[in-house]
Amino acid sequence: DAGVTQSPTHLIKTRGQHVTLRCSPISGHKSVSWYQQVLGQGPQFIFQYYEKEERGRGNFPDRFSARQFPNYSSELNVNALLLGDSALYLCASSTVRGIPYEQYFGPGTRLTVT
Amino acid sequence: RKEVEQDPGPFNVPEGATVAFNCTYSNSASQSFFWYRQDCRKEPKLLMSVYSSGNEDGRFTAQLNRASQYISLLIRDSKLSDSATYLCVLLRNSGNTPLVFGKGTRLSVIA
C-alpha cells in the first residue's frame, strides 16, 4: 500500500511569494494534519482536517491556510512568504479511530525562502 | 516550562550498548504518548506507542510514569542503524493540537 505522498519534494521561493503544498493520505485515512519542522526543532502543528472540515489549528498566522478535498487529499497554502517560513513541511494522515490514534508522515516538502 | 522536554544529546554509544532516553511532560491531562524516530532529512516514523503499563518491541522498551510525568525509551544491543533522532510525542486530552513533539534526542551508535 502506498504511504502518504507529498508534492513537490523541494521548492525555492522568494519573499512575498505564495506557495501551495499538496498531500495525499494513506488509502482509507480520512484525517490529514500539517506540521512545520524548522531545523533542530520538533514538528510544530499547523492544521488538522477531518472529513473536509478544519478540526484544529496551531499557533500560525493567517498567512497559512489549508483545505481538504472530497478524496481526502489536502493542500497547504502560505501567502506573503517570509524567510522564517523556510522549513520542512510535513503532512500526516490517520484514521482517527481508537485511542490512541497514530499518525503516519509523508516525506515532506522542503521549502526554502530566499 | 515547555510541554514536552527532551535532552537533545547527542548520545554517542558503542555498538551493543544499552541506552535510555527520558522525556518529561508538563500537562498531566495528556493521555497518549509515542516515540517517533527521524533520520537525517527524513520524515518522522512511528517507533512505538507507549501505553500505561509500558510495552516492549524487540530491543526497544517504552515505559510511562504518570506520577512523575515522564516516559522513557530503552534500546538494548544498539546497532549502527539505530543512529537517528528520537522524538517524544504526546497526544493532548483536549485542545486543538493533535500531537505535541519534543525537540528530539540525537543518538549516534559508533562501531
Q: Does A52 touch chain B (CB under 8 A)?
A: no
Task: State the sign of the Cα–Cα–Cα–Cα dihedral B30, A49, A63, A11.
Answer: positive
Segments of chain B scoring below 70 in pLDDT:
93-97
Q: Is the pLDDT of residue A65 over 90?
A: yes
Mean pLDDT of A42-63: 92
Interchain CB contact of A103 with B (< 8 Å): yes
Mark yes or no for CB contact A40/B103 under 8 Å: yes
pLDDT for residue A99: 45
Alpha-carbon distance B41 to nearest alpha carbon in chain A (angstroms): 9
For the beta carbon of residue A111, count every other beta carbon within 10 angstroms: 20
pLDDT surpasses 60 at A98: no
Instruction: Report the pLDDT averaged over residues A8-34.
Output: 95
The 3-class SS string of A71-92 reads CCCEEEEECCCCHHHCEEEEEE
